[in-house]
C-alpha cells in the first residue's frame, strides 16, 4: 500500500487535488477556526471572569447556587465528546444557519464545544493575578467592574494570550474532525479522499498542512504573549 502511495500516477493525481481543492479548503479551515475562536472568547471570557470574581471572597460575589450552576453547565459541556456534541446540536445549527452541513453550520458546534474550554482557561489566567494588586485597587475605592477591567484582565493578558493560543489550536483540530459529518475544510478533504477513496497521499498532505497551521498559530501566540509580558520587558 505504501509503495503504491508514491507511484507517479498517484503523486500526479494528489498534486492536481492539492492545486484545485486545497486552497479553498485551507481558507475554509482558517475562516471557521478564527470565527469560532472569536465567538468562543466573546462567550467564554466573561464566564471565566464570573468564575473568579463571583466566588466567595471575590471582587463581585454572586449567590453560591448561581456559581454552582454555572460550574456544572461548563463542566457538562466540556465532558461531551465533540463528535457527539455536533450531532446533539444539529437542531440548533439548523435553527441558526438553516442547515446542519457545510462550513458555516460547523461553526455552531465548534463554539458550543469551545466556549466552556475558553471559560476554564480564562479562569486559570485570572487566578494568576497577584491578590495584593487587587487588594491595593480595592483600598483606593475602585469598583468591582473597574478592578475587573483595569486590573485583573490587564494583569493576566500574557496568560490570556497563551491560553487563547491553546484554544485556537484546539478548535483547529475540532474543525478538522467536523469533516466526518459534513463540515468543510481540510478535514473534509482528508476524510473524503484519504478514508473513503484510499488516497492516503492527499490525507497526508492535509495532515501536514494542519500541522503547519498549528505551528503558525502557536508561534504568533507565543510572540504576542512575550511582547505583552511586563516582566520580560523589564529584563530587556
Tens of pLDDT, residue by residue over 73-93, are: 999 999 988 888 888 888 888
C-alpha cell at 150: 483595569
Tens of pLDDT, residue by residue over 180-197, are: 777 778 888 888 887 787
* Residue 223 region by backbone torsions, left for phi larger than 0, else alpha for psi between -120 and 50, else beta: alpha
Residue 3 has pLDDT above 70, yes or no: no
Instruction: Please name each of the domains of the chain with its CATH number.
Output: 2-230 (1.10.3720.10)
Average pLDDT score over residue span 123-146: 90
Exposure string for 23-46, b = 16+ CB within 10 A, e = fewer: eebbebbbbbbebbbebbbebbbe
If you ran DSSP here, which 8-state letter would residue 178 be given? Answer: G
Residue 2 has pLDDT above 70, yes or no: no
Tell me the C-alpha distance between 30 and 213, whole Å.
Answer: 9
Predicted local confidence at residue 4, as pLDDT: 63
Predicted local confidence at residue 199, as pLDDT: 82
Residue 30 has pLDDT above 60, yes or no: yes
Tell me the C-alpha distance between 232 and 86, whole Å.
Answer: 41
Residue 72 has pLDDT above 60, yes or no: yes
- pLDDT band for 233, please (50, 70, 90 cuts): low
Predicted local confidence at residue 31, as pLDDT: 93
Average pLDDT score over residue span 30-34: 93
pTM of the entire predicted model: 0.89
Amino acid at each position: 500500500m505504501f509503495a503504491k502511495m508514491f507511484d507517479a500516477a498517484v503523486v500526479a493525481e494528489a498534486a492536481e487535488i492539492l492545486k484545485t481543492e486545497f486552497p479553498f479548503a485551507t481558507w475554509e479551515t482558517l475562516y471557521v477556526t478564527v470565527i469560532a475562536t472569536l465567538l468562543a472568547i466573546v462567550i467564554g471570557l466573561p464566564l471565566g471572569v464570573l468564575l473568579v470574581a463571583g466566588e466567595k471572597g471575590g471582587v463581585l460575589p454572586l449567590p453560591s447556587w448561581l456559581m454552582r450552576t454555572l460550574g456544572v453547565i461548563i463542566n457538562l459541556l466540556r465532558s461531551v465528546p465533540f463528535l457527539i456534541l455536533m450531532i446533539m446540536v444539529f437542531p440548533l445549527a439548523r435553527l441558526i444557519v438553516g442547515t446542519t452541513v457545510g462550513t458555516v453550520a460547523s461553526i455552531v458546534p465548534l463554539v458550543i464545544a469551545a466556549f466552556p474550554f475558553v471559560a476554564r482557561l480564562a479562569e486559570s489566567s485570572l487566578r494568576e493575578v497577584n491578590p495584593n494588586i487587587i487588594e491595593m485597587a480595592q483600598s483606593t475605592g475602585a469598583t468591582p467592574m473597574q478592578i475587573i477591567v483595569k486590573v485583573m484582565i490587564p494583569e493576566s493578558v500574557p496568560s490570556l494570550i497563551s491560553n487563547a493560543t491553546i484554544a485556537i489550536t484546539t478548535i483547529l483540530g475540532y474543525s478538522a474532525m467536523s469533516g466526518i459529518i459534513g463540515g468543510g475544510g481540510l478535514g473534509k478533504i482528508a476524510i473524503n479522499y484519504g478514508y473513503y477513496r484510499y488516497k492516503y497521499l492527499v490525507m497526508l498532505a492535509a495532515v501536514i498542512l494542519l500541522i503547519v497551521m498549528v505551528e503558525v498559530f502557536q508561534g504568533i501566540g507565543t510572540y504576542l504573549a512575550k511582547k505583552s509580558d511586563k516582566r520580560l520587558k523589564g529584563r530587556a
